[in-house]
Structure 1
């Protein structure tokens, strides 16, 4: 990647797009569901 600016840019763009599927509400809901399942 160091020697390929195109590959670096493509990887960065893909990482940015993938990061958009995560948010705090989803994370909190998932964490709550996990603890609820474990504790019941």
Structure 2
């Protein structure tokens, strides 16, 4: 979602939808190798 938001932000003809702008997953680039399940152990 982060990458999609960045592409839409750079576009001169597209607008970032409000839902995407506010979505938690669009706020920061995901970290490679990070798994939510491994942190729960």
Same fold (TM over 0.5): no
Larger radius of gyration: 1
Please give the range of the TM-score, normalised by the shorter of the 2 chains.
under 0.3
Q: Which has the higher contact order (CA 8 A, sep 6+)?
A: 2
Please identify which structure carries the higher helix content: 1
TM-score (norm 1): 0.27
TM-score (norm 2): 0.27
